[in-house]
């Protein structure tokens, strides 16, 4: 079998519905051996609102999904005629296989972000923040360093008239 990854253009916001429709069509047409995987590229976002951490999924290629398939006239027909699918990505609606490196990068990005959500708010050194949780609650300070991978900040806080660096998580501060 010669399966490759292809990108599909879908109606925006309908990616999950299209995936469910396509899954049903694959089963009813008996094509599980020809179309093996479907992928909607999503990333997890961590956001702090009102002092509470919220994690949600966001599509990083809205209006697109990926399928791994052995492309024949029959599979192309089944996929193209699925409700919500606008067509294959490629010139004149002719499917162009994706580069394996590109697919691997998307899979890696999705896998890494499931373990470590991407911050919804980006902090910059020099910004002023208020601490909302912990022993320094209600203190204000200036951001010295940002570690986005660990979602931590080093904030310069004035304690008893003395500037002291304090390490905090994103969820413990809010932007002023």
Look at the chain and report how many structural domains it folds into: 2
> Per the confidence metrics, is the pTM higher than 0.85?
no
Q: What proportion of the chain, given as a percentage, has pLDDT over 70?
A: 94
Which is more confident, 143 or 58?
Answer: 143
Express each pLDDT in 33-55 by its tens digit.
999 899 999 887 777 777 677 78
Same domain? For 73 and 111 the reply is: yes
Same domain? For 99 and 132 the reply is: no
Could you tell me the CATH number of the domain that includes residue 26?
A: 3.30.70.940
Which is more confident, 57 or 96?
Answer: 96
Facing residues of 153 across strands? 146, 168
Domain boundary among 73, 94, 119: 119
pLDDT band at 66 (very low <50, low <70, confident <90, very high): very high
Express each pLDDT in 100-142 by its tens digit.
899 888 888 777 545 555 566 788 899 999 999 888 889 999 9
Could you tell me the CATH number of the domain that includes residue 149?
A: 2.30.30.30
Same domain? For 146 and 167 the reply is: yes
Same domain? For 111 and 135 the reply is: no
Give dist(CA 93, CA 1) in Å, integer. Answer: 23
Same domain? For 17 and 47 the reply is: yes
Same domain? For 111 and 136 the reply is: no
Cα 104 to Cα 4, 5, 88, 149: the distances in Å are: 12, 11, 20, 21
Asked whether the beta carbons of 76 and 87 are under 8 A apart, the reply is no
Domain carrying residue 66: 4-119
Instruction: Return the minimum-mean-pLDDT range out of 8-17, 22-31, 37-46.
Output: 37-46
The tokens for 167 are: 């390490």
* String of DSSP letters for 95-137: --PPPHHHHHHHHHHHHHHHHSPEESS---TT-EEEE-SSTTT
Same domain? For 108 and 144 the reply is: no
Same domain? For 96 and 146 the reply is: no
């Amino acid at each position: 079998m010669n399966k490759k990854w292809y990108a599909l253009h879908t109606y925006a916001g309908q990616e999950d519905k299209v995936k469910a429709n396509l899954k049903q069509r694959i089963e009813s047409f008996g094509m599980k051996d020809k179309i093996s995987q479907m992928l909607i590229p999503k990333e997890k976002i961590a956001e702090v609102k009102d002092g509470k951490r919220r994690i949600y999924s966001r599509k990083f290629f809205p209006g697109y999904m990926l399928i791994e398939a052995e492309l024949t006239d029959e599979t192309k027909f089944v996929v193209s005629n699925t409700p919500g699918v606008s067509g294959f990505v490629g010139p004149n609606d002719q499917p162009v296989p994706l580069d394996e490196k590109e697919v691997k990068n998307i899979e890696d990005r999705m896998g890494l972000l499931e373990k470590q959500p991407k911050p919804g708010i980006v902090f910059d050194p020099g910004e002023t923040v208020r601490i909302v949780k912990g022993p320094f609650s209600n203190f204000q300070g200036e951001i010295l360093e940002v570690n986005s991978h660990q979602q931590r900040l080093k904030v310069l806080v004035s304690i008893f008239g003395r500037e002291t660096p304090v390490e905090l998580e994103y969820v413990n501060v809010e932007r002023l």
